[in-house]
Amino acid sequence: MKLSGRTIFITGGGSGIGRGLAEALYGLGNMVIVSGRRKEALEETTMAHPGMAFMELDIEDPASIEAAATRLIEEYPELDVLINNAGIMKADEIDGPADDAIVASTIATNLLGPIRLTSALLEHFKSRPAATIVTVTSGLAFTPRATHATYSATKAAIHSYSLSLRYMLKDTAVGVVELVPPYVQTELTGAHQATDPRAMPLQEFIDEAMRLLGTDVDEVLVDRVKAQRNNAGPEERAFFTKQNDLLSGR
């Protein structure tokens, strides 16, 4: 993926991995537009980086997605990179009745949102000399976390979607790159995660991921996520059990 001279739209760009990517790409001279639901976080991010822009977007709302896509194409006709990063991760232990609100919100944000936004921008991207769609999944797409079953399932679905999208676009100038984070020090599951010593420091992740993004790989896999990524297969249950016992303190 070419990392300079691009016009880049990042969902969930006001914090965590999204903000880290936005700052790194901004530093390479790209035009970066960050989006999200929290205007205050977006304003803080862009004020710290003159020239970076923001756009409010409710990734759960199809009307908000359509409006944002229309505005993006009108205001930034050179747009050629989409990073589908926005996501939520809430516990939904499935050994009892599911909380339907959590399940529905997680699926709408993590799965339907990226699919809808990609669809809304795809014809524009096909008109560009070159374009890139980045889907942010998770190591949990391949080795799920049982206490966050719906989140893990949505990331597995986006991995599957990424494979299909890449295949369907193989004869176009639109590339599809999957970014697979491990457990990273962000506030995705709460403030405690940002200081959890088991998690990869955010800046360390961004630095390694950016080096890989600048190559021609289809999957961006930092070293810390490879065990999860490579575990899927006939013998996956033992590693899955070990990981979940570790995370649950058993």
By the 8 A CB rule, do 173 and 130 touch? yes
Lowest mean pLDDT, pick from 38-42, 61-65, 68-72, 180-184: 38-42
Mean pLDDT of 160-164: 96
Which CATH number does 7-248 carry? 3.40.50.720
Alpha-helical (H) ranges within 89-235 are 100-107, 113-126, 149-168, 202-213, 226-231
Q: For residue 146, which of 84, 223, 237, 16 has the smallest C-alpha distance?
A: 237
Six token digits for residue 168: 């369907």
Residue 236 has pLDDT above 90, yes or no: no
Say what the pTM is.
0.93
Domain boundaries in the chain?
A: 7-248
Residues 6+ apart with CB under 8 A from 26: 32, 49, 51, 52
Residues annotated catalytic, as ranges: 151
pLDDT in tens, 182-206: 999 999 999 999 999 999 999 999 9
Six token digits for residue 209: 């991921």
By the 8 A CB rule, do 1 and 177 touch? yes
| Residue 129 one-letter amino acid | P
